[in-house]
A and B are shown apart, each in its own frame.
Chain A
Amino acid sequence: MLPLDAPPKKPGRKLPFSPWHLFLMPMAAIMLLPLVWMVVVSLETAQQAHSYPPVLIPSSLHFSNYPAAWNTLPFGDFFVNSAIYALTTVAGNLLFCSLAAYAFARMRFAGKNMLFVVFLATLMVPYQVLLIPTFLIVKRLGMVDSVGGLIAPNLCSAFGVFMLRQFFRTLPIELEEAARIDGTSRLGILFKIVLPLSLPALATLGIIQFMWSWNDFLWPLIIIDSTNHAPVQLGLSMLQGAHSTEWNLLMAGTVMSQIPMLVIFLFAQRWFIRSIAFTGINQ
C-alpha cells in the first residue's frame, strides 16, 4: 500500500499511464460486477437465466421481464408507499428537528440541558430494543399494516436534532440578534434567517433520512402485512418470496426497486458524499 503520489510523471517510465490503474480497474470491476450482473440477468429470458454455463451476454434484450415483474406484484403501490414514507419522514424530520435544534442551540428554558442529554441518551440505545414496544404502540394506535404506521416512529430523530443543533451553533449569532432587535419573532428568525443559512445541513439530514427510509426493511417487515401497503424493499422481498426461482424476473424487480435511489445518487453525488463524510467528522 503506497501513500500519496510523488510529483508528476518521471521521464523514462515504462507505462504511459499511472500504475495505479492496474489496481483500480480490477477493483472497480469487482465492485460493479454484482450490479452489472443484476442488470444483465434482468434482460435475459428465463431459459437464458437458468442455463449453465451462465449466459454472459444475451443475444437479445428481453425487456418484457420488467412489465412482468411490475404486474406480478403491485410495484406501483410499492413505489407510492415508499415515496410517501420517505418524503413524509424527511419533511417531518426537517421540520421537527429544526424547531427542537434551534431551541437547544439558541434559546434558554428550564430543563434544557437535561432534556438534551435525554435526547442524546436515546441515540445510545440500538433500535432493536425499541422494536417490540414500538410495534405494540403502533398496534395500540391502530396503525398496523398502514403507511402511517411506517411513518409515525420515524417522524423525528434525535440524531437529526443533534446534528442540526451542532450546525446552528456555528452560525454567527449577530444575524439573529439583529433580527430580534428588529422585532422578529423567534419562529420568524428560525424560518427567515437560520434555515436559509442552513441549507447544507438540511440537505445532509434530508438525504440521510431519505436513503434510510427508502432502504428500510426490518420495520416494514414487522408492521406491514398486506401487499398493497408495502414499501419498495419489502415489496421486493415479497417478489422474492413468490418467485424465488424466476431469477430473471426477480432481477428485473430488483433493478426497478433500485433505480430511484441510483438516479438520485448519480445526480446528487456530491451531497451524498458530503452527508456521509459529515457523520464521520462529528466524532
Chain B
Amino acid sequence: MTARAERSRAVRLERPPVWRRILWSEHLAGWAFVMPAFILIAIFALIPIGWSLILSLQNNNLLSPGHYIGLANYKALAKDPQFRSAVGHSLVYTVLFVPISVAGALGLAVALNRKIRGIRFYRLAVFVPLVTSTVATGIVFLWLLDPTFGLVNYILHALGLPQQQFLQDPNEALYCIVAMTVWSWLGFDVIIYLAALQGIPEELLEASEIDGASKWTTFRSVVVPLLGPATLFLVVWSTINALQLFDEIYVTTRGGPLGSTTVIVYYLYEQAFQFFNGGYGAAVAYVLFLGILVVTLMQLWIGRRRVYYSS
C-alpha cells in the first residue's frame, strides 16, 4: 500500500470512535434526562393502558389472578340495562352541563370584563368555588338542598313556591347535580373567556360601533366569532370532564336515589371496587375512553370548519 493510502486508512480508522463518542454522550444525556419521567409514566400510564385492555378481556376480581373470557365483558355491557341507563344519565348530564356552563360563562365573562368599582370582588366571587374541593361542594349542597332543613327549600317557601325533594327525588337529583357542578366549575370557563375577551383589540369594537352596529350586533358579529377557539376548547374540555363525573355523585347521592344519578364512572367504581368485577370495570373504562374519543373528534371536526383562528 502506498504511504498515502496507508495514512488515509489510518485516519479513517481513527475517526469513527471520536464521532461515535460525541454522538453517544448526546444520546445518553438525552435519555438520562428523560429516564425518570419515562419510568414513572411507563409504570403508571403506559402499562396500565395496556393492562386495562387485558383486564377487560378477563374475569378478574382484583384479588386473585383472572382468567380470559375474550370479549364476553363487552358483549355483556352492550346488553346490560344498568350500564345503558348509566350511559343515559351521563349523556343527559353532559348535554345539560356543557351548554349551560359555557354559555353562562360567556355572559358572566362579558359582565366581568369591565372596569367598574368592585370588579375584583365580583370576579373573586366567581373564582372561589373553583378552589373548593368536590367533596366540600357535595357536602355543602347536600345540606343546602336538604328537603326538610335546607336553605333552598326555605327560600322557595318564602317565595311561595312548592317545596322540592331535590337530591332525594329520582326525577330531580340529576338536575341538582348539574346545578351543583355548574356552580363549581363556572369560574374555570369564565377565566378562559375573560382572557380571550381581553385579547380582542378595542379598536375592532370601536370600528364596529362606527360602522353602525349596535352593541348586540357587535357582540354577535365580531366578539363571538373571535371567541371561537376559546368556545371550542371549553366545549371539548367540559364534555370530557362531564363524561368523567364521579366525586360529586359519590359524596351526595351514591348513584341514587333509585340509581337515577349513576353515571358511567360511578358505575365503573361500583363494579370494580364494590362488586370486585375488575374485568368488567376495565371494559367500562375502555368503552368510556372510546366514547370520549369519538365525541371529542366529532367536536373538533365540526369546530375546525367553523372556528376562525387568528394566527
A residues with CB within 8 A of B: 1-6, 17-18, 20-21, 23-25, 27-28, 31-35, 37-38, 41, 49-54, 95-97, 99-100, 102-104, 107-110, 112, 115, 118-119, 122, 124-137, 152-156, 158, 161, 186, 190, 211, 214-215, 217-218, 221-222, 232-234, 236-237, 240, 247, 250-251, 254, 257-258, 261-262, 265, 269, 272-273, 276-277, 279-281, 283
Could you say which of B191, B215, B240 contacts A276, with CB atoms under 8 Å apart?
B191
Could you say which of A37, A132, A190 contacts B282, with CB atoms under 8 Å apart?
A132
Could you say which of B40, B114, B130 contacts A155, with CB atoms under 8 Å apart?
B40
Contact A96 B44 (CB under 8 A): no
Contact A128 B47 (CB under 8 A): no
With A21-B118, A96-B40 known to touch, is A28 a contact of B125 (CB < 8 Å)?
yes
Contact B219 A34 (CB under 8 A): no
Q: Which positions 32-73 of chain B face chain A at CB distance < 8 Å?
A: 33-34, 36-38, 40-41, 43-49, 51-52, 55, 62
Could you list 12 examples of A-B contacts with CB < 8 Å? A3-B215, A5-B115, A24-B119, A108-B30, A115-B38, A119-B37, A122-B46, A136-B62, A154-B44, A156-B40, A158-B41, A261-B133
Judge if B139 is at the interface, Cβ distance under 8 Å.
Answer: yes
Residues of B contacting A279 in the complex (Cβ-Cβ under 8 angstroms)? 192
Residues of B contacting A236 in the complex (Cβ-Cβ under 8 angstroms)? 133, 135-136, 139
Number of interface residues of B (CB under 8 A): 107
Residues of B contacting A118 in the complex (Cβ-Cβ under 8 angstroms)? 46
Q: How far is the CB of B202 from chain A (nearest CB, A)?
A: 8
- The 7 tightest CB contacts between A and B, nearest first, are A109-B30, A100-B37, A103-B33, A133-B48, A28-B125, A3-B219, A280-B192
User: Which residue of A is nearest B51, CB measured?
Assistant: A133
Q: How far is the CB of B162 from chain A (nearest CB, A)?
A: 16
Q: How far is the CB of A269 from chain B (nearest CB, A)?
A: 7
Q: How far is the CB of A152 from chain B (nearest CB, A)?
A: 7
Contact A122 B135 (CB under 8 A): no
- Other than the known A52-B149, A128-B244, A133-B52, what 10 A-B pairs have Cβ atoms closer than 8 Å? A20-B111, A21-B118, A31-B186, A38-B140, A51-B149, A103-B34, A122-B45, A129-B282, A137-B47, A158-B45
Could you say which of A95, A126, A215 contacts B289, with CB atoms under 8 Å apart?
A126
Judge if B107 is at the interface, Cβ distance under 8 Å.
Answer: yes
Residues of B contacting A95 in the complex (Cβ-Cβ under 8 angstroms)? 36
Contact A161 B114 (CB under 8 A): no
Q: Which of B5-13, B79-87, B245-253 contacts A (4 or more CB under 8 A)?
A: B245-253
Contact A32 B128 (CB under 8 A): yes
Could you say which of B131, B137, B236 contacts A265, with CB atoms under 8 Å apart?
B131
Query: How far, in whole Å, are A251 and B129 apart by their CA atoms in the complex?
Result: 16
With A132-B281, A132-B285, A280-B233 known to touch, is A99 a contact of B45 (CB < 8 Å)?
no
